[in-house]
Structure 1
């Protein structure tokens, strides 16, 4: 998926996490509709500038692909923990932070912050790069 397509999806109202999870829907055994619903609450860093939706979407993908199912599934839990650590290492190597507010320099969860983000064009330039990178990092892991 390229950044132009991602920006177009943002323009249609999809959020970072939704785009990431939808990209992997077939691979993780969910429909595109389910992918979008399960990631819907994570946009804008939970709507308050916290953890980036692209990172949250990546965690959903890794959980569905590698996640453990209860206390007796420690082998899968270990594998999932390794994949999560690998993703976060890749992400932190590139960005050094996971919070939307830190990545964007403004809190998307406030009107003032959102206005600045939109005025600077970050939602349609920088955010698609975050999503594209999250997808590329996941493709190495999932």
Structure 2
């Protein structure tokens, strides 16, 4: 089980959302934390451009490590993986209305002026940290099955 409090602390210490989520889930999916964080480093802030939320990309990497042991899309195991992916997307959208970083924040973190506003308004804490905690709770269920 991922430690939400530890993940939140690491995020507030400067790690990005994707690193934080995938790093917190790493051991559960057979990776060491350092490797997971390095893999996820480029995915924070909506893949660096306000696109898909880093919590979602970090969670997708964990799902891939655990369930994507197939070579082609017509493998029966692919269907199970894609169902997990859709469950992640559906739950995240139900909670936040989107899986898009920019829509969640109302600002694009890749734009310097927006990044300053995100910091000024405390959105990393009020939006991003909450999304990290919610994602880790959701992943606890998705990785258990």
Normalization by structure 2: what TM-score?
A: 0.90
Instruction: Please name the residue that 2:54 is paired with.
Output: 53
Q: CA deviation at 1:73?
A: 6.7
Q: CA deviation at 1:90?
A: 0.8
Instruction: Please name the residue that 1:109 is paired with.
Output: 110
**Correspondence 1:80 to 2:81:** yes
- Structure 1 residues 55 and 72 mapped into 2: Cα distance closer, same or farther (>3 Å)? closer
| Native 8 Å contact 2:49 2:109 kept in 1 | yes
| Native 8 Å contact 1:18 1:39 kept in 2 | yes
Normalization by structure 1: what TM-score?
A: 0.92
Structure 1, unpaired ranges of 5+: none
Please state whether the residue corresponding to 2:35 is helix, strand or coil.
helix
Distance in 2, matches of 1:91 and 1:60, equals 15
Structure 2, unpaired ranges of 5+: none
Distance in 2, matches of 1:83 and 1:120, equals 34
Matches within 5 A, 1:82-97: 82-97=83-98
What number of residue pairs does the alignment pair up?
A: 141
**Correspondence 1:119 to 2:94:** no
Instruction: Please name the residue that 1:128 is paired with.
Output: 129
| Native 8 Å contact 1:68 1:74 kept in 2 | no
Q: CA deviation at 1:22?
A: 1.3
| Native 8 Å contact 1:48 1:107 kept in 2 | yes
